[in-house]
Amino acid sequence: MNMLVDGEWRTDAGEYTDDDGSFERQETTFRDWIRDDPDARFQPEAGRYHLYVSYACPWAHRTLVTRALLGLEDAISVSVVDPYRDEDGWQFTPEKEGCTADPILEADYLREVYVAADPDVTGRVSVPVLWDREEETIVNNESREIMRMLATAFDDLAENDIDLAPEDRREEIDDILDTIYEPINNGVYRAGFATEQEPYDAAVDDLFAALDHWDDVLADQRYLAGDRFTEADIAMFTTLVRFDNVYHTHFMCNVQYVREYANLWPYLRDLYQTPGVADTVNMDHITEHYYTTHPDVNPHRIVARGPDLAFDAPHDRDGLEGESPTGRQEASVDD
């Protein structure tokens, strides 16, 4: 495992799996909050915050989708790291298509941003990272919490009138986020990084039992929480959109393709076609990252070629109760 230990970069800091070969995800390090409160240390202000992301990472992708749906592109700037991550970690390579420089610290590696926030930091250097220009520190690097902050604290700055976490539905949304996290969002990693048969089998069983369950649920409702597009759908989307191209092959989640599901596949197309969402998907970065960054899984770093999925094909879910967020389309009409 490559990580920072007391502010120093280490490439020998341990393994991703425990003694029985099960994948263990480490906790994130920075957990402060932006609040619309005059007494809060971190308050929502246009131009104050900056997101560090990878198009390849499903956790970072969550924050990009949230930012796009809310119309926060002008309020919160973004830097994109290289999809290839070697032993030096996430790198800024602005000369590469789809990647950017770091305008905040002019760093070469994302780990420099972590050390700038805390010179003695210990932990993995992961994306997303939400940086505060005013305090010159990292606010948060936990994707679910960043999603919630963007959805609840930036109402006055959002260009689109969309509520992804209605207050009266948050308990339900949080329950769904909890329910899909371990078997689906993290389940593909539990399968892909398992080093023994038993934990791999358990992960795959959990994964496809959960996918089967939600396929049944989505037969009668448009979104995971019923008639409302919420954060839960974003969290499901960033896993499903990678599934057939990456997780099915690279992580050995090959019981079934998402495109073979009667309801998950049109549901995925419905989400993809929501205005603003497709622009956040970079399949080239996704496939390059997964197939070249895990040599223990794919030692020859050969990037699988397909499939070429028709995310733009009609989804025929308009007849179910609930309307798709109009997002950018609504904003353009109001202008």
Residue list for the binding site for glutathione: 90, 124-127, 142-143
Tokens of 182: 């371990």
* DSSP β-ladder status, 49-53 and 77-80: parallel
* DSSP β-ladder status, 129-132 and 137-140: antiparallel
Closest CA to 29 of 168, 172, 150, 129: 129
Q: Which residues are catalytic?
A: 57, 189
Q: What angle do CA 243, 323, 51 make, to 5 degrees?
A: 55
Determine whether 287 is exposed, middle or buried from the number of CB atoms within 10 Å of its CB (0-12, 13-18, 19+).
Answer: buried
Closest CA to 107 of 87, 129, 90, 121: 90
Determine whether 95 is exposed, middle or buried from the number of CB atoms within 10 Å of its CB (0-12, 13-18, 19+).
Answer: exposed
Report d(CA 56, CA 59) in Å as an integer.
9
**Crossing angle of the two packed helices 231-242 and 264-272, in degrees rounded to 10:** 110
* DSSP for residue 298: -
Q: How far, rounded to the nearest angstrom, does the alpha carbon of residue 207 sit from its chain's CA centroid?
A: 18
Q: How far is CA 128 from CA 76, 80, 123, in A?
A: 13, 10, 14
Q: Would you list which residues are annotated within the binding site? A: 90, 124-127, 142-143
Closest CA to 63 of 127, 122, 155, 135: 127
Greatest Cα-to-Cα distance within the chain, rounded to the nearest angstrom: 58
Q: Which residues contact 94 (CB under 8 A, 6 or more apart)?
A: 100, 101
Q: Are 124 and 3 a contacting pair, CB within 8 Å?
A: yes
Tokens of 109: 């590696």
What's the residue count for the chain? 335
